[in-house]
Amino acid sequence: MKRFVLLTLIAAASAQILVSCAGSSSKLPVIDKGTALFDNFSYKGNDAFYRNNPLPSDDSFYTPILPGWYSDPSICTNGQGDYFLVTSTFVYFPGVPIFHSRDLVNWKQVGHVLTRPSQLVNMQRQHVSGGIFAPAISYNPHNQTYYMVTTNVGAGNFYVKTQDPFGEWSDPIMLPEVGGIDPSFFFDEDGKAYIVNNDEAPDFKAEYDGHRTIRVQEFDWKNDKTVGPRKILVNKGANPAENPIWIEGPHMYKINGKYYLMDAEGGTGTMHSEVIFRADSPMGPFKPWKNNPILTQRHLDPNRDYPITCAGHADLVQTQEGDWWAVFLACRPIDNKFENLGRETFLLPVTWTEDGYPSITEGDEVIPMIQKREGVKRDAQVTFGNFEVVEEFDQPELGYQWHTLRAPATELYSLTQTPGYLTLKCADVAASERATPALVARRMQHHEFEAETRMLFNPEEETEKAGLILFKDERHHYFFAFGKKGEDKTISLLQNEGRQGMKELASQVLPADTKVLNLKVVSTGETYAFLYSINDGKKWDELIKGVDAEFLSTARCGGFTGTVIGPYATTK
């Protein structure tokens, strides 16, 4: 029988989350052939920084407000105290998580923007870092409507809209005349609107790799179409003489009668930065600030403690109180070597220079891990710090933290077939394929963590395997698999090596009557340990430890996502 308990956050986070925890049933449910049942899944973060640096006051917070892979953040407000934030999801389904806050510190995910296959077309055959790039959310006060515009690498630029951001969004409205990537809306005070985006070099004649432009076109929001000519606002970047690369992620604002154009520059690696331009008209000409960039960490000592790197791709918002804040992406590599968390969402206050430009960091200023917002009290369900959550799979739908690849995959999993369990079919699709496997995963959000599940499975064929997957992309993942070799049931750790296929790192024969296994993954940040327990989850046996975590890192794999972990079943 299921029961509910209150789990406390680790002391460094100074908060609590209400979660449910399952008790064991003396009678096992029916386990169908080629089907795995997952009774629960727990995730417990234990990062050293949070342990060693508890928050000093009720109005302080950890600046990675959305730790783990929440890249390309965009934020808007309706001017009535509501703030909404979205991030990229690439080929994961559902697409574009949307978070809500009333104070910028306490965030709660209220759903996803793209929840239907009709909004996520042509996802099949796209690699993990394809799909949905850099969503930008905006509020149009003239029709009280929210807009989310983005790039689907397999289909082009499009937007969806709604007057209820807590509910459903429209089907895609395509923008075939808007090329490139990273479109963003700007709704002016006079009722006009514009789309800015990253696009090709002038006349498609790039002078060097990474030569791009920022362009603008007027948008008729009453008729859902662009109008008038497209114009180049920025060619190359803030300092064209230096041949800057990858000017992208544009956002436009009108502040104190001036128009500001803010862009990312330098690529999304360690040279990432944010630059600012200003003009008297949304059509320009825009002039760069003399002291650009307004955000970067690229010039700092790489040997500093707890380095934060790759900072850029920012968006600004003004509060009802009149102060300004920025959300942006950045990474937290271990000892500046590698990280598996991907690009995370950070929050910092914005200061204004004497000559009227916004600034997030200046000079050698280091992005802090702890920040304060006076007058705002941290609540019991914050999204940051060390925390522990338990998923009981006792609801008819997956929680917002769970994803599948490229499609809903509802033909491969069920939460109602065996109530209280996540049922996964062993699909004839492997995670190494650009397709939709029987995989249900959540983000890794800490370097140091433990993840655990109780699984019911009775493999009858050598091809049938089920367990936990640690997945970075199609060519880089670890599969902690319960399966069969000959007449023996086994627990194994398999490593996907891309074109070399799966490599077995460790294996152990299990008792022939084994049908219930508890699986545990323990991460130190640099290595993983894989443990299993037969039946009770009390006595643990170590299958293998010291497994290389760098194998799943962006430093090794490239790409734009972080690593996810969760149940997986396959016949391949």
Find out whether the peptide bond into 293 is cis, omega within 30 degrees of 0.
yes
Strands, E assignment, 373-515: 388-391, 404-405, 413-414, 422-425, 438-439, 442-443, 448-456, 465-473, 476-485, 488-496, 502-510
> CB within 8 A of 337, min separation 6: which ones?
550, 555
Q: Active site includes 182?
A: no
- Token pair for 113: 């923007």
The one-letter code for the residue type at 444 is: M
CA distance 525 to 517: 25
Indicate the burial class of 78 (C-beta count within 10 angstroms; 0-12, 13-18, 19 or more).
middle
For the chain, helix (H) and strand (E) counts, in that order, are 2, 43
> CB within 8 A of 204, min separation 6: which ones?
none
From the candidates 72, 263, 315, 339, which is the catalytic residue? 72
CA distance 473 to 128: 6
CA angle 454, 456, 460 (to 5 degrees): 145
- Residue pair 515/456 in contact (Cβ under 8 Å)? The answer is yes
> CB within 8 A of 39, min separation 6: which ones?
22, 392, 393, 420, 421, 453, 454, 455, 456
Residue whose entry in the numeric block shows the structure tokens 């950070």: 346
CA atoms in the 13 A half-sphere facing the CB of 33: 4
* φ, ψ (nearest 5 deg) of residue 121: -85, 155
Q: Active site includes 323?
A: no
User: What length is written for the chain?
Assistant: 572
CA distance 424 to 464: 12
CA distance 251 to 528: 40
Helix (H) or strand (E) holding 487: none
CA distance 136 to 123: 20
- CA 54 from chain centre, in angstroms, equals 25
Helix H segments across 26-141? 48-52
Residue whose entry in the numeric block shows the structure tokens 């959300």: 327
CA distance 59 to 43: 26
- Residue pair 468/528 in contact (Cβ under 8 Å)? The answer is no
Find out whether the peptide bond into 165 is cis, omega within 30 degrees of 0.
no
From the candidates 47, 199, 218, 248, which is the catalytic residue? 248
- Token pair for 467: 């367990």
Q: So which residues are the catalytic ones? A: 72, 248
